[in-house]
Amino acid sequence: MQKFIEIIKKNNELKIINEPLDINLEIPHAAYLEVKKPNGGKALLFTNPHDNGRKFSTPVLMNIYSSFDRCKLIFGRDIEGIASEIEELMHMKPPQNLMDKFGMLGKLFGLKSVFPKRVKSGISQEIIKKGDAVDLRELPILTTWEEDGGPFITMGQVYTKSLDGVLSNLGMYRIQIYDKNHIGLHWQIHKDSSHFFDQYKKANKPMPVSIAIGGDPLYTWCGQAPLPHGIFELLLYGFIKKEPAKIVKCITNDIFVPHDADFVIEALIENPNELKIEGPFGDHTGYYTLKEPFPFAKVTAITHKKEPVFLATVVGKPPIEDKYMGWATERIFLPLLKTTAPDLIDYHMPENGVFHNLILAKIKPHYPAHALQIMHAFWGVGQMSFVKHAIFVDQNAPKLTDYEAFSDYVLNRICHENILISSGVVDHLDHSSPKQFVGGKLGIDATGSEIEKPKITLLSDDELFKKAKELESSIIELRQIKTNTKNPITLIKYKKTKPSNAIFQNLKPLEENTKIVVLVDDLFQNDLENSYMIIWRTVNNIDARRDIYFNCFIGIDASTKNAIDNFDREWPKDVVCTKEVIKKLKEKNVIQVSDEEIKKWQIIQQ
């Protein structure tokens, strides 16, 4: 980590903040605003963190991943080149001659570096505290949002192993701090660590767990990599770095962690049948995840370097640091995804779709319903199975990251017949499905020819608003977008006093003037001029089985769900910064942010 700090210093990618700042809201708010800057801003090193005046000697490092350039520095090589190397290995053919054999041997011999190497000692254990000496409050662990359940470790590498000790796992899960020596473990139900936990629970045996913080920044990325079940994520580290990860045995358990981690928290889930409420926590969806029982553990030891750095991230509404981490994941794992869908050309997960809510894919279709076949393949494999909305185009479509041209291409091809609504597993953090873990899936096959020009009469926004208001008095605001396409979209904000199906029924005469109607409510911030955030709101808030209506026009209900909709789950709040903290950071000249930027990214509650 210290070497990486020097590298980003030399590359003008680091901003050092010497102003004393509180770990409660101030430091994370400053990082949150920085990552909203063009290209993700700079990495931030806070040298004087404190907790209500109590000073820490350990600096806090944030936003190390929040730019494409810094990602490249972390990987130390071309990311597209890593993908090419994976693809080459996967398509390795039997050697035809002696030179081919030597070439293959070279590649296979090079793979020996992927296996982690155990060493006797590491700088992660220069300082050791056990028993009564353990105190998590000595670490500058951040409280990010005003309504968070407490301080959380947000960039912890969580190391676990199966009950029989055969499999090891590295995951990236948030860790709640309850007191000086107890932590909550938010590993979601579908994750490998949760599967290991189930083994210990069934056997009624204590489960060891270790959380590493810092060290080589690539460890953290490996922790969120979507590898197949049973594959230890540090193998990927060795593959990328061309040298094995060096790991050392923990002091109080049998788990191995990186030798160069800045901190290691060793813990034991003493009773796997006893859970504790974890959360709430402002999450990467841009909403708070709600209180829920999760495993908790007693900390048995804390070890660290003599001069450690505390690595953290801040999550909330997009764009955030995972935009850039996700880009690296997309590129590197494209070859593996092609094994499931050989005719896949490319895919992209826009950050305002918060990754599991929206995927764009380009394929080379060979027959009718080929796109639908690949959609089902996606929805049945690994972490792709959590994706709620998929849009497929053919090889003639624009680049997937050219959003304006791409959306025009899709909107010129949408009709009722090429929309698939299905159901399946959804992410643990999804809040819109009627039942947790199970929800609707939406697939759009835009691989065909353009549809016929619709027989509609376009009106101005003012004219259409007047007509819509006469049909439905609860409408507050209206805006049309993409009127140049064959599926013009009408965005409508309304005061939510009745179910959306009643709204759509009243608005049925609008079929003469528009093709797609999107409803948002006035319960949260919804700026119809801000398409980026409207997309974020929509893909978060809809369940395809419940919220898509075919009522001559296509209706999409992106409103908050409540008792009016017979929705009996708790609906979470938006993540927003605390106004007083933003004001204080401005006064200290730590941040420079305009009112327009605050409004654009919905930083505070308006």
Same domain? For 101 and 155 the reply is yes
pLDDT at 339 (0 to 100): 84
Q: For tokens 């060493």, name the residue.
A: 119
Distances (CA, A) of 387 to 264, 307, 439, 443, 561: 33, 41, 10, 10, 20
Residue 327 lies in a domain: no
Domain count, the chain: 3
Token match 């230890």: residue? 232
pLDDT score, position 551: 79
The CA-CA-CA angle for residues 313, 315, 320, to 5°, reads: 90
DSSP SS3 for 441 = strand
> Kind of pairing, strands 359-363 and 389-393?
parallel
Same domain, 303 and 353: no
7 shares its domain with 137: yes
| b/e burial code for range 85-114 (CB count within 10 A of at least 16 → b) | bbeeeeeeeeeeeeeeeeeeeeeeeeeebb
Query: Considering the domain boundaries, does residue 328 fall inside one?
Result: no
State whether 352 and 427 are in the same domain.
yes
Per-residue burial over 205-232, b = 16 or more CB atoms within 10 Å of its CB, e = otherwise: eebbbbbbbbbbbbbbbbbbbebeeeeb
Q: Which domain holds residue 430?
A: 341-446
Mean pLDDT, the chain, whole residue set: 93
Q: Does the residue 586 lie in any domain?
A: no
565, 580, 601 — which closes off a domain? 565
Confidence of residue 377 (pLDDT cuts 50, 70, 90): confident
- Rounded to two decimals, the pTM is 0.93
pLDDT of residue 92: 47
Query: Do 385 and 466 lie in a common domain?
Result: no
The residue count of the chain comes to 606
pLDDT at 106: 47
Give residue-wise pLDDT tens across range 76-134: 988 888 888 877 765 545 555 555 444 544 444 456 778 999 999 999 999 999 999 99
DSSP, collapsed to helix, strand or coil, labels residue 333 as helix
CATH code, domain carrying 384: 3.40.1670.10
With CA atoms as reference, report the closest residue to 550 among 419, 446, 438: 419
**Confidence band of 226 (pLDDT split at 50, 70, 90):** confident
pLDDT in tens, 403-415: 999 999 999 999 9
34: Cα separation from own chain's centroid? 18
**Do 42 and 6 belong together in one domain?**
yes
Q: How confident is the model over 155-176, as pLDDT tens digits?
A: 999 999 999 999 999 999 999 9
Instruction: Determine, yes or no, domain membership for 572.
Output: no
Q: Cis bond leading into 319, ω under 30°?
A: yes
Give me the percent of the chain exceeding a pLDDT of 90.
84
Residues 192 and 89 in one domain: yes
**C-alpha to C-alpha distance for 310 and 453, rounded to whole angstroms:** 58
Q: What is the pLDDT of residues 36-60, one digit of tens each?
A: 998 899 999 999 999 998 999 999 9
453 in any annotated domain: no
CA separation for the pair 375, 353 (Å, rounded) = 17
The whole-number pLDDT of residue 93 equals 53
pLDDT in tens, 180-200: 999 999 998 888 889 999 999
Query: Is there a domain that residue 454 lies in?
Result: no
Say yes or no to pLDDT of 10 above 60: yes
- At 268, is the secondary structure helix, strand, or coil? strand
- Domain boundary residue among 394, 412, 446? 446
Q: Which of 10, 8, 11, 25 is nearest to 61 (CA)?
A: 8
Cβ within 8 Å of residue 78, ≥6 positions away: 72
| Model confidence band, residue 357 (pLDDT cutoffs 50, 70, 90) | very high
Last residue of a domain, one of 446, 480, 501: 446
Same domain, 204 and 285: yes
Identify the three-state secondary structure at position 378: helix
Question: Quick one: pLDDT at residue 91?
Answer: 53
Residue whose structure tokens are 């690296």: 328
| Residue at token pair 């107890």 | 182
User: Could you check whether the bond before residue 398 is cis, i.e. omega within 30 degrees of 0?
Assistant: no
Strand ranges inside 234-351, DSSP E: 246-249, 256-258, 263-269, 275-278, 281-282, 288-289, 292-304, 310-312, 344-348
Provide the pLDDT for residue 79. Answer: 87
Dihedral (CA of 170, 176, 180, 181) sign: negative
Residues 154 and 57 in one domain: yes
* Residue 212: pLDDT band with limits 50, 70, 90: very high
